[in-house]
Each structure stands twice: as C-alpha cells, then as structure tokens.
Structure 1
C-alpha cells in the first residue's frame, strides 16, 4: 500500500460546491487569475484562512481534508509561505487534473466557519 500525505484546503462555498459536484473526488480547474492550486500541510493554517479570510468574504469558509499519493506528492516541494507552520504545496494549474487523479479517498469537510455579524447588524 502506498503511503499518503494528508493535506488540507480552505475554501469558500463556490469552490466547495464544485468539489461536491465532482462526487468529492476532485478540485475544480483554476480560474485564469489563479495559476497555482495550493493545498496546505496543516489544519491550523487551513483553519486560519477559512475563518479569517473565506468566511468574512463569502459568508462561510470551510476546511477540507484529503489524502494524496505520497510518492506523487514528492514532485511538489513544500513551500514555506510565511511563518514556519505556513506550509503549502504549489501545484501549477495545468497539472491539477493529474493531481486530482492521485487523490486517495474522498475530499472531506472537517470544519465550517460563518461570518460573525457585527453589533450594528
């Protein structure tokens, strides 16, 4: 049995709906202004993005988790995008179909964060 790498992906409702439409098996193609797909290597970082970025902008943010074939994952060096725990894989948009082919099992929603209304309504 191949080893797997567990990854997380923070996303908003539009992206999650496309994942749902795939049967929870694939990430949707990137938009023209999104040349990189970047899953993250830890749940805490994904939570911060979903809670502090996606939820305020889209009303709700989700943290998803999925497993990727470990041998395949090695083609993407871990990128440190800030502090020592802000770790991502940078997958070129044109490689996303092949990336999706190496997802093992379903993409799962593990947390949901809603925009907090301010005191003024």
Structure 2
C-alpha cells in the first residue's frame, strides 16, 4: 500500500453526480472559470463549505473523502486559506487527470446537507 494523504472535498449535487458516473473513481474536469481544484485537508473545513456555501448555492452540499498518493502531492505546497485549520491544496486544472490517476481506492460521501 503506498503512502497516502486523506483529502476532503465539499461539493454540490452536479459535481457529485459526475463523480458517481465515474464509478466514484475521479473528479470531473474543471470548467473554464475553474482553473484550480481545491481539495482540503480536514473534514471540519469541508463541512463548513458544504453546509454554508454549497447548500445555498445549489440546494445540497456533500462532503467527500478520498486518498491520494503522497508522492504526487509532494509537488504542491499546502495553502493556508484563512485560519490555521483552513488548509487546502491548489491543484491546477491541467493536473487533474494526474491527480485522478493517483487516487487510491474510491471517493466516498461522508456527509450530506440538504436544503432546509
């Protein structure tokens, strides 16, 4: 088993549908206005985004968890996007296929937040 890093991704229903269509194995290509893929390093931060941003924006929010080979992530510095626990990777859209190739196992939904 390779060394892996567990990442979290808050997402809305449209993106989650594309992940499901992939057999829970990969993230869909970014849209032109999305040059960066932002997986986060802790579930609490992912929960906050899914609940407080995805639900109002798209009617539901989901928290996903997935493992990525550590040696792939080594080339990307961890970014602090706010407070000390608001940590994420900034993966350029053109590297997303390679990230997908380095996912170990399946992408899984850990939490669901429907609109109130």
Q: TM-score, normalised by structure 2?
A: 0.98
* 1:108 CA displacement: 0.0
Structure 1 CA distance for aligned equivalents of residues 76 and 103 of structure 2: 14
* Pairing 1:85–2:67 present: no
Equivalent position of 1:119 in the other structure: none
Gaps of 5+ in 2: none
The number of residues matched between the two structures is 116
Note the aligned Cα RMSD (angstroms).
Answer: 0.6
- Partner deviation per Cα, 1:51-87 (whole Å, 9 max, x = no partner): 0000111111000000000111111110000000000
Structure 2 CA distance for aligned equivalents of residues 64 and 2 of structure 1: 21
Equivalent position of 2:105 in the other structure: 105
Map residues 36-75 of structure 1 onto 2, 5 A cutoff.
36-75=36-75
Equivalent position of 2:35 in the other structure: 35
Gaps of 5+ in 1: 117-121
* 1:2 CA displacement: 1.5
* 1:115 CA displacement: 1.7
> Tell me, what secondary structure is at the counterpart of 1:75?
coil
Structure 1 CA distance for aligned equivalents of residues 91 and 57 of structure 2: 24
Larger Rg: 1
Q: TM-score, normalised by structure 1?
A: 0.94
Equivalent position of 2:4 in the other structure: 4
- Partner deviation per Cα, 1:64-115 (whole Å, 9 max, x = no partner): 0000001111111100000000000000000100010000000000000012
Runs of 4+ in 1 over 3 A off after TM superposition: none
